[in-house]
Chain A
Amino acid sequence: MSENMNRIASQGAGSSENILEVRNLVKYFPIKSSFFKRTIGNVKAVDGVSFNIKRTQTMGLVGESGCGKSTCGRTILRLQDKTAGDVIFDGQDVFALSKEELRKLRPRMQLVFQDPYSSLSPRLPVGEIIGEAVREHGIVPKEEFDDYITRVMDVCGLPSYYKERYPHEFSGGQRQRICIARALALAPDFIVCDEPVSALDVSIQAQIINLLKQLQEEFGLTYLFISHDLSVVEHISDTVGVMYLGNMVEYAATEKIFAHPLNPYTKALFSAIPIPDPDVKLNRIILKGSIPSPANPPAGCKFNTRCEQCMEICKHVPPAWKEVEPGHFCACHLYNNAQEQADAENRMEQLKRDAKDKKETA
């Protein structure tokens, strides 16, 4: 097992330190009219997201439900087509690969799903669930197959006699271990964990989080950890990206973003985390209303409808994605410098004039 890992790790050692580069990724889901199947609009699930993940690091992706974090994870793995943008995995453009090349790349990037109750086939025994892809991709020679599966299961804390059992015989935590073993069996470099612990109890959550961390150290894995539980993300991630309505609003190293969140949305989100101490007087920023529909997002900054520090300019001009401090990216008009502010104001005047002209001509 570990030899396998080392082999793959050494392959990529020569290339850059980023294992994954996502540039301006866009994913729209078309809304079709009922009869002629014409596209009458788009659900802008992911609307221009960029980030890099360094080798053997964990990036946390947080946000409310419907903000596009899961879609982002699935699009990176090319489980669905992109609308625009680039995904570079270990120097290869994932969306430029042919079917054959993509198949070769598949074992190197894996996915662990949220719900361990629905993501395991009830008709296959555990050994087959874990081993199916290993055989298909020819990861190990036929005679070593059985031994290999036993070793993978052992690493994930599953005794080998579970091989003949079926998923319904297991509890949630053990099922999640099976899901992780299934992903790990292909000796991947990169795993997208899509809410892997949110369906589990607190004490089981801790077991799974510890397992993920231990596997990362042992095999040099890279994770994209998607979750809405901020305390879990803080614990496991090296960097954190915050998404709101399809856009990344802030991205920085974990300590930085939790100590000094810049974007008003991030501030509100972090202040809402319940802290298990009755003495901590919560200074919650309570956001009004709920997340707008991604099919018809507000103009300008998408957060302007709920933002406490909303300015005139926010309602018209979307903020630029920029590096406010070294390594701390944020998209918010509050951090514009004089030049950017002037540009944004010009743009706002322009937009207002355009709208007026349009009205007059109409």
Chain B
Amino acid sequence: MAGKKENSSYISGKESRRITKFNRKVTKKLEHERADANKDPALYTTKMRDENNVVEFDNVCTYFFSDVGTVKAVDGVNFDIPRHATVGVVGESGCGKSVTSLSLMQLLQRPSGQTVGGEIRFNKGDGTAYNIVNTPNAIMEKIRGNRISMIFQEPMTALNPVFRIGQQVDEVTQLHHPEMSEEEVKNRTLEMLELVGIANKEGVYNMYPHELSGGMRQRICIAIALACSPTLIIADEPTTALDVTIQAQILDLLQNLKDKLNSSIMLITHDLGVVAGMADYVVVMYAGRVVEKGTADEIFHHPAHPYTIGLMKSKPVVGQKVDKLYNIPGSVPNPVAMPNYCYFRDRCEMRCDQCDGVYPPEIRISDTHVVSCYRFHGKGEVLGYPKSVNVEELI
């Protein structure tokens, strides 16, 4: 068939065997390094760049060693989550926004998914910080669910169908506070259920997940996430599976709780409307890299990157009549073979001669507004190029 050569997903048997062998070697080595539980704490303790941040992502690279080649799902991502702030991460499916959050929780599908480079610094609060990338599992278990917790997209699948709601919320508290008595744990759970707006808390405590509606289940997931008063809540598309009216309830709840508990929120979503209503800072991701970041006001009123501009124009807005929606031409490049120029160049309508060069650096165009685009070259301070990791050197 003539299509075979054109079809980029085609690989020969020989090539396939080479990839598999390479993957096995790399993942074995990385897994071996991670398995060392009695690692010297100096290896995973570091200092925050700014004490006011809860989390700093510094050139994080998370790759998946798949059978068709190495997928650079997250490739040199830089951004901070300040204390008591809501940071919205926006992008289309496959842009790496979920993988970024999973790297922070060390919940990647291992062994194929590995964080191979960069630092994720999580503030301990005593002047030092964990570098999550090197933190061994034993320590991670104490952070996960306790200091950082996560709300998942599908409340239907995130809850275990065979356990009662009460047991599932209790479990988190029991795990992280073994000193608490059963009575105290139950009281804590009931308190949490009340906090997330469940009127019939005693009744719900003894129910199974299937007895609750989608919105109620998402409230339970939030209660589980908040049980230990975490410093950071990751909400991964918390309202995508819900109806508009229920979405409004849940967003309202999250906003109120954030103020009550003094936590930060990392809100991952593809809905620009949700981000605008919730976030203080917005990070726009495209094909595994951050293309633009800034305050919500900057991103929504002065978008700089052509991708952000295109994304805003392609979404119909209630109350604004347009004849034809703008659509970004083309599609995302193949994640296995990324080009060495700007990933957005082939779809961009504002490209210039410089765009043929290497991937654009991060350029600071105001105190908080950073964009990766050559259109702003010379109009601001260049912060540096995203660093990719050469996988061949990992062995």
Task: List residues of chain A with CB under 8 Å of any chain B CB.
Answer: 64-65, 161, 164-165, 169, 171, 173, 201-203, 205-207, 209-210, 213, 228, 230-232, 234-235, 258, 268-280, 282, 284, 286-287, 290-291
B93 close to A231 (CB less than 8 A): no
A228 close to B243 (CB less than 8 A): yes
What's the least CB distance linking B330 to chain A, in Å?
A: 10
Residues of B within 8 A of A161 (CB): 3
> A161-B3, A274-B273, A276-B317 given. 9 additional CB < 8 A pairs?
A169-B9, A202-B315, A231-B318, A275-B276, A275-B318, A276-B273, A276-B300, A278-B300, A284-B252
B316 close to A235 (CB less than 8 A): yes
Given A161-B3, A268-B245, A272-B244, A290 and B215 contact (CB-CB distance below 8 Å) = yes
Residues of A within 8 A of B327 (CB): 203, 206-207, 210
A206 close to B276 (CB less than 8 A): no
B331 close to A235 (CB less than 8 A): no
Can you show 26 pairs from A to B with CB atoms below 8 A apart? A161-B3, A173-B331, A201-B270, A203-B328, A206-B325, A230-B318, A231-B315, A231-B316, A235-B325, A271-B248, A272-B244, A273-B318, A274-B247, A274-B251, A274-B271, A275-B276, A276-B315, A276-B317, A277-B276, A278-B277, A278-B301, A280-B276, A286-B245, A286-B252, A290-B213, A290-B216
Interface check B378, CB cutoff 8 A: no
Residues of B within 8 A of A290 (CB): 213-216, 246
Residues of A within 8 A of B324 (CB): 210, 213
A205 close to B314 (CB less than 8 A): yes
Given A269-B244, A272-B244, A286-B249, A277 and B300 contact (CB-CB distance below 8 Å) = yes
A270 close to B300 (CB less than 8 A): no
List residues 1-48 of chain B with CB under 8 A from any CB of chain A: 1, 3, 7, 9
Partner of A228, one of B244, B312, B316: B244
Interface check B275, CB cutoff 8 A: yes
Given A203-B328, A235-B322, A276 and B247 contact (CB-CB distance below 8 Å) = no
Residues of B within 8 A of A286 (CB): 245, 248-249, 252
Residues of A within 8 A of B310 (CB): 203
A202 close to B244 (CB less than 8 A): no
B318 close to A234 (CB less than 8 A): yes
How many Å lie between the Cα of A276 and that of B310 in the bound state?
14
How many Å lie between the Cα of A286 and that of B253 in the bound state?
11
Given A65-B243, A171-B331, A206-B326, A274 and B319 contact (CB-CB distance below 8 Å) = no
Partner of B316, one of A201, A234, A278, A291: A234
How many Å lie between the Cα of A172 and that of B252 in the bound state?
32
What's the least CB distance linking B222 to chain A, in Å?
A: 16
Q: For residue A290, which residue of chain B has the nearest CB?
A: B213
B3 close to A272 (CB less than 8 A): no
List residues 311-356 of chain B with CB under 8 A from any CB of chain A: 311-312, 314-319, 322, 324-328, 331
What's the least CB distance linking B67 to chain A, in Å?
A: 16
Residues of B within 8 A of A258 (CB): 318-319
How many Å lie between the Cα of A284 and that of B243 in the bound state?
15
B243 close to A275 (CB less than 8 A): no
Residues of B within 8 A of A274 (CB): 247, 251, 271, 273-274, 276-277
Interface residues on chain B, number (Cβ under 8 Å): 48
Interface check B237, CB cutoff 8 A: no
Residues of A within 8 A of B243 (CB): 64-65, 228, 291
Task: List residues of chain B with CB under 8 Å of any chain A CB.
Answer: 1, 3, 7, 9, 92-93, 213-216, 243-249, 251-252, 270-277, 279, 296-297, 300-301, 310-312, 314-319, 322, 324-328, 331
Residues of A within 8 A of B314 (CB): 202-203, 205-206
B245 close to A269 (CB less than 8 A): yes
Residues of A within 8 A of B3 (CB): 161, 164-165
How many Å lie between the Cα of A149 and that of B316 in the bound state?
32
How many Å lie between the Cα of A164 and that of B245 in the bound state?
44
Q: For residue B272, which residue of chain A has the nearest CB?
A: A276
How many Å lie between the Cα of A213 and that of B322 in the bound state?
12
Given A286-B249, A290-B215, A278 and B317 contact (CB-CB distance below 8 Å) = no
How many Å lie between the Cα of A235 and that of B205 in the bound state?
44
What's the least CB distance linking A293 to chain B, in Å?
A: 10
Residues of A within 8 A of B325 (CB): 206, 209-210, 235
How many Å lie between the Cα of A173 and that of B331 in the bound state?
10
Residues of A within 8 A of B273 (CB): 231, 273-276
Residues of B within 8 A of A232 (CB): 316
Partner of B317, one of A164, A169, A231: A231
How many Å lie between the Cα of A230 and that of B310 in the bound state?
20
Most buried by B among A202, A275, A279, A290: A202
How many Å lie between the Cα of A230 and that of B317 in the bound state?
9
Partner of A206, one of B251, B297, B315: B315
Residues of A within 8 A of B316 (CB): 209, 231-232, 234-235
A276 close to B275 (CB less than 8 A): yes
Partner of B245, one of A64, A202, A234: A64
Residues of B within 8 A of A287 (CB): 245, 248-249
How many Å lie between the Cα of A210 and that of B322 in the bound state?
11
Residues of A within 8 A of B92 (CB): 201-203
Partner of A284, one of B93, B248, B311: B248
How many Å lie between the Cα of A277 and that of B275 in the bound state?
9
How many Å lie between the Cα of A207 and that of B330 in the bound state?
10
How many Å lie between the Cα of A246 and that of B317 in the bound state?
27
How many Å lie between the Cα of A228 and that of B311 in the bound state?
20
Q: For residue B317, which residue of chain A has the nearest CB?
A: A231
How many Å lie between the Cα of A234 and that of B314 in the bound state?
14
How many Å lie between the Cα of A276 and that of B317 in the bound state?
8
How many Å lie between the Cα of A270 and that of B319 in the bound state?
11
Residues of B within 8 A of A202 (CB): 92, 270, 272, 311, 314-315
What's the least CB distance linking A64 to chain B, in Å?
A: 4
What's the least CB distance linking A218 to chain B, in Å?
A: 14
How many Å lie between the Cα of A124 and that of B331 in the bound state?
25
**Pairs of residues from A and B, 8 with the lowest C-beta to C-beta distance, nearest first:** A274-B273, A206-B314, A235-B316, A272-B248, A276-B272, A206-B325, A64-B243, A206-B327
What's the least CB distance linking B335 to chain A, in Å?
A: 12
Partner of B277, one of A231, A234, A275: A275
How many Å lie between the Cα of A340 and that of B9 in the bound state?
67
Residues of B within 8 A of A165 (CB): 3
What's the least CB distance linking B103 to chain A, in Å?
A: 22
What's the least CB distance linking B367 to chain A, in Å?
A: 17
